A = this chain, B = another copy of it.
Amino acid sequence: MKKYFKKDEWNIVEEGFHPDENRIYESVMSLGNGHMGIRGNFEERFTGDGLQGTYIAGVYYPDKTKVGWWKNGYPEYFAKVLNAANFIGIDLIIDDEVIDLAKTKVKSFKRILNMKNGYLKRKFTITTSSNKEFNVEVVRFLSIVDTELAAISYKITPINCNASITFTPYLDGDICNEDSNYNEKFWLELQKNVEKYNANLTMKTKKLNFIASTSMKWCIHEENIPINSSISVLENEKFVGNKISVSAEENKSITLYKYISVTTNRDYDDEDIVNKANERVKYAYEKGFESLFKEHASAWETRWNNNDIVIKGDVEAQQGIRFNIFHLYQTYNGMDSRLNIGPKGFTGEKYGGSTYWDTEAYCLPFYLSTANHQIAKNLLIYRYNHLEKAKENAQKLGLKGALYPMVTMNGEECHNEWEITFEEIHRNAAISYAIYNYVKYTGDKKYLADYGFEVLTEISRFWASRVTFNPYKNKYMILGVTGPNEYENNVNNNWYTNTMASWNLEYTFDVIFYLQKEHPTRFYELTDKLNLSDPEMCKWKDIIDKMYYPHIDSLDVFEQQDGYMDKEQLSVKDLSETDLPLNQNWSWDKILRSCFIKQADVLQGLFFLNDRFDLETKKRNFDFYEPKTVHESSLSPCLYSIIASEIGYIDKAYELYLRTSRLDLDNYNNDTEDGLHITSMAGTWMSIVYGFGGMRIKDDMLSLNPCIPNVWSKYSFRINFRGHLIKVSVENNIVAIEQQNGSEFNVNIYGENYTIPSKGEITVYKR
């Protein structure tokens, strides 16, 4: 943990130049708009350490997965998020000196991510070898209004001299994924074109035939007035650019505006995408930087008006939550049901594949509460559309029903570690839980008849074929699994997995009863389609009745898995600083046989099935497991924070809140350089709304049970519940609820029901 950024409610500011930590700043300063994203790289040349990263949503590469020893059932490929053509590049030459911030003298430097309006700004002063000084100011954004567009304003001002300045705006497709084996390149040049004021570069992936076409146009101003320049054309393999030379006078700014469009054959026919890219960039160029920016910035303001969380009295906490909300919306906007939310979004290459159980378990609640319900529904439909592939996946492992992949781009499993791929089967329950959660929140029960029941049935079938009946104990067991705590592999009877599997079967029965009653025709249509029989359902019932749950009797807590208590029982505080993070300092076997917990496991179950456990049970389990948890998954502290709030451990909840909300900003797990933990950012949001806010849905009613950390004077959040847009404000023992949009409805606050008038507000005092 280290403080990299100054406290600021709306901005993330790097003060001074930190080339040694550049990757960390690059990750944090990433921009994205759902369609594409770029890390906080420099426009001008930089030969220092960094990861030039440009990513396009839905464009990936099925890399060969060669491992030493193959396991039967492994997928053919390991999907990789694909680093695409660099479109921000603008080389800068002053009097024949190439500017390279790794070599050129940098006198002052500031890099600012403005979250309120969604742009990245850099302001720096450089001194050339002939002691000429220049101020540079660069602003760029990826439009959230026109997501195929990006624009850069690159302004340079000589301070103590005149100078000859050459800009080379370019498009570079000669890009290699950093995680590529043997530096294999994944893109081929398909076509290119470059003229004096515009250029296009169109690349195609070696596999799957993704095509991405990037166009650029530019213009150049002196003190806001267009000027003439000497222009030449550059063309190389996978590269197009212009070389533009102007004479700059002391104290007169020269600004190059670069407009970029990126189109892909995910959205257009192959033969159209170059034209579309050219058309789009022409539109941007004609509209101009200021107008484009204005509508982009204003769209961000609208978003914040609907979804902002305001915290008073704690700038770090405020900065943290906005940073999380900002990056979530940069990554996924829900417009495209073929897309999902990658753990690193557009901020890095790690965790290659796009979709994990993170989406269902962590991201769904955020989108449910902050956006139109169609967006959450799209996330569910994504899995519905992959049901056939999930069935094939189960079959490949010799099992029935559907096993959703651990990691996927298109519904196929694309990860190859047996202990994860084959054994981390709890992910299946998260898919079911998302359906439950969606219906509970939105009330859209029709979803069950239309889509949900098929998924629930096939997943139930999976569980029924995956359990082992133990006749000696008259119990069903689930052997050989990896739970959410991936610091245990191939264990028997992970409590969370067994609990969720049984819950899953129960919920399927709930849905069966509902459909039988409310949609009998559709129900019989579905049982027919699914070939669902009574004996099959009897087996499910038997499993529910006889599921085995490991338990530590002496402490009355759930046992994470069989044999957990045979481990040496230690606490994180017994560790020395040099041990942490364990995954960077301990060998894997040592981690596995230790009692230390990567992320919420038993507690994940207490969170999901919140209403099944009383406060004392939650407390006992929290008290036992929390001290053993190292939170080396980004998904961990948010969950613990929520439960800590619920059981009244506010200080602990606040400590964990800071950890989750500032995980990347303060680099808690020493891995911000790899990219940001996008999916856990939704968990951060939950740690306020579900945690401090105590929001739950019970019997179709919104319920709140707010508390507030000591250091905060006030906080507020906005949520959308079934068409009611409300703002919840919490001060010490006072809760105010304002309905900004929607009709009168009831809310349960601290256990009492209140009516919130349309466009009205109520205030409740905690007794």
A interface with B by C-beta (< 8 Å): 64-69, 71-73, 78, 181-182, 184, 352, 396-399, 415-419, 422-423, 468-470, 472-473, 477, 479-480, 489-492, 562-563, 565-568, 583-590, 592-593
Is there an interface contact between A398 and B490, defined as CB atoms closer than 8 Å?
no
Alpha-carbon distance between A418 and B490 when the two chains are bound, in angstroms? 12
Q: Which 9 A-B pairs have the closest CB atoms?
A: A73-B587, A422-B589, A480-B593, A71-B588, A479-B593, A397-B587, A418-B588, A490-B490, A480-B592
Is there an interface contact between B416 and A568, defined as CB atoms closer than 8 Å?
no
Interface-central residue, A352, A399, A489, by most chain B CB under 10 Å:
A489
Contact status of A590 and B68, CB under 8 A, knowing A566-B468, A566-B492, A568-B468? no
Is there an interface contact between B568 and A422, defined as CB atoms closer than 8 Å?
no
Name A72's contact: one of B181, B182, B586 (CB within 8 Å): B586
Alpha-carbon distance between A191 and B416 when the two chains are bound, in angstroms? 42
Chain B residues within 8 Å of A422, by CB? 587-589
Name A566's contact: one of B399, B417, B470, B568 (CB within 8 Å): B470
Name A181's contact: one of B181, B396, B480, B567 (CB within 8 Å): B181
Is there an interface contact between A588 and B68, defined as CB atoms closer than 8 Å?
no
Other than the known A68-B78, A492-B566, what 6 A-B pairs have Cβ atoms closer than 8 Å?
A67-B67, A72-B587, A73-B588, A419-B419, A479-B566, A490-B490
Minimum distance in angstroms from A584 CB to a CB of chain B = 7
Is there an interface contact between B72 and A588, defined as CB atoms closer than 8 Å?
yes
Chain B residues within 8 Å of A73, by CB? 587-589
Minimum distance in angstroms from A744 CB to a CB of chain B = 53
Alpha-carbon distance between A398 and B590 when the two chains are bound, in angstroms? 8
Is there an interface contact between B417 and A68, defined as CB atoms closer than 8 Å?
yes
Nearest B residue to A585 by beta-carbon distance? B72
Minimum distance in angstroms from A249 CB to a CB of chain B = 54
Chain B residues within 8 Å of A68, by CB? 65, 67, 78, 352, 415-417
Minimum distance in angstroms from A18 CB to a CB of chain B = 26
Alpha-carbon distance between A593 and B65 when the two chains are bound, in angstroms? 25
Minimum distance in angstroms from A349 CB to a CB of chain B = 13
Alpha-carbon distance between A69 and B406 when the two chains are bound, in angstroms? 14
Interface-central residue, A417, A588, A590, by most chain B CB under 10 Å:
A588
Nearest B residue to A67 by beta-carbon distance? B67
Is there an interface contact between A468 and B567, defined as CB atoms closer than 8 Å?
yes
Chain B residues within 8 Å of A470, by CB? 566
Minimum distance in angstroms from A575 CB to a CB of chain B = 12
Chain B residues within 8 Å of A417, by CB? 68-69
Contact status of A563 and B492, CB under 8 A, knowing A78-B68, A585-B72, A587-B71? yes
Chain B residues within 8 Å of A71, by CB? 587-588
Chain B residues within 8 Å of A64, by CB? 182
Is there an interface contact between B492 and A490, defined as CB atoms closer than 8 Å?
no
Copies of this polypeptide in the complex: 2
Chain B residues within 8 Å of A567, by CB? 468, 479
Interface-central residue, A67, A397, A568, by most chain B CB under 10 Å:
A67
Is there an interface contact between B563 and A562, defined as CB atoms closer than 8 Å?
yes
Chain B residues within 8 Å of A489, by CB? 419, 489-490
Minimum distance in angstroms from A580 CB to a CB of chain B = 13
Alpha-carbon distance between A568 and B68 when the two chains are bound, in angstroms? 31
Alpha-carbon distance between A399 and B586 when the two chains are bound, in angstroms? 11
Is there an interface contact between A418 and B78, defined as CB atoms closer than 8 Å?
no
Chain B residues within 8 Å of A69, by CB? 417
Is there an interface contact between B72 and A584, defined as CB atoms closer than 8 Å?
yes
Nearest B residue to A69 by beta-carbon distance? B417
Chain B residues within 8 Å of A562, by CB? 562-563, 566
Nearest B residue to A477 by beta-carbon distance? B566
Alpha-carbon distance between A720 and B565 when the two chains are bound, in angstroms? 52
Contact status of A583 and B78, CB under 8 A, knowing A479-B593, A490-B490, A589-B397? no
Minimum distance in angstroms from A650 CB to a CB of chain B = 34
Is there an interface contact between A468 and B563, defined as CB atoms closer than 8 Å?
no
Minimum distance in angstroms from A676 CB to a CB of chain B = 19
Nearest B residue to A489 by beta-carbon distance? B490
18 residue pairs from A and B, CB less than 8 Å apart: A66-B66, A68-B417, A69-B417, A71-B588, A72-B583, A72-B585, A72-B586, A419-B489, A422-B588, A468-B567, A473-B566, A479-B563, A479-B566, A480-B593, A490-B592, A492-B563, A562-B566, A563-B563
Minimum distance in angstroms from A131 CB to a CB of chain B = 47
Alpha-carbon distance between A629 and B568 when the two chains are bound, in angstroms? 33
Chain B residues within 8 Å of A477, by CB? 566
Chain B residues within 8 Å of A593, by CB? 468, 479-480
Is there an interface contact between B590 and A397, defined as CB atoms closer than 8 Å?
yes
Contact status of A66 and B587, CB under 8 A, knowing A468-B566, A469-B568, A566-B470? no
Chain B residues within 8 Å of A415, by CB? 68
Alpha-carbon distance between A590 and B397 when the two chains are bound, in angstroms? 7
Alpha-carbon distance between A646 and B403 when the two chains are bound, in angstroms? 47
Minimum distance in angstroms from A717 CB to a CB of chain B = 36
Chain B residues within 8 Å of A490, by CB? 419, 489-491, 592
Alpha-carbon distance between A737 and B164 when the two chains are bound, in angstroms? 102
Minimum distance in angstroms from A522 CB to a CB of chain B = 35
Minimum distance in angstroms from A475 CB to a CB of chain B = 9
Chain B residues within 8 Å of A396, by CB? 587
Name A66's contact: one of B181, B352, B398 (CB within 8 Å): B181
Chain B residues within 8 Å of A566, by CB? 468, 470, 473, 477, 479, 492, 562
Minimum distance in angstroms from A401 CB to a CB of chain B = 15
Alpha-carbon distance between A480 and B419 when the two chains are bound, in angstroms? 14
Chain B residues within 8 Å of A423, by CB? 589
Is there an interface contact between A587 and B479, defined as CB atoms closer than 8 Å?
no
Minimum distance in angstroms from A208 CB to a CB of chain B = 19
Minimum distance in angstroms from A397 CB to a CB of chain B = 4
Nearest B residue to A352 by beta-carbon distance? B68
Interface-central residue, A470, A566, A567, by most chain B CB under 10 Å:
A566
Alpha-carbon distance between A589 and B587 when the two chains are bound, in angstroms? 23
Nearest B residue to A398 by beta-carbon distance? B590
Nearest B residue to A493 by beta-carbon distance? B566
Chain B residues within 8 Å of A585, by CB? 72
Alpha-carbon distance between A398 and B593 when the two chains are bound, in angstroms? 12
Chain B residues within 8 Å of A419, by CB? 419, 489-490
Nearest B residue to A425 by beta-carbon distance? B589
Alpha-carbon distance between A416 and B69 when the two chains are bound, in angstroms? 9
Chain B residues within 8 Å of A352, by CB? 68
Chain B residues within 8 Å of A78, by CB? 68
Interface-central residue, A72, A584, A589, by most chain B CB under 10 Å:
A589
Minimum distance in angstroms from A671 CB to a CB of chain B = 13
Chain B residues within 8 Å of A398, by CB? 586-587, 590
Alpha-carbon distance between A416 and B417 when the two chains are bound, in angstroms? 12
Alpha-carbon distance between A415 and B473 when the two chains are bound, in angstroms? 39
Chain B residues within 8 Å of A469, by CB? 568
Nearest B residue to A397 by beta-carbon distance? B587
Minimum distance in angstroms from A486 CB to a CB of chain B = 10
Alpha-carbon distance between A472 and B566 when the two chains are bound, in angstroms? 8
Minimum distance in angstroms from A379 CB to a CB of chain B = 26
Alpha-carbon distance between A69 and B398 when the two chains are bound, in angstroms? 25
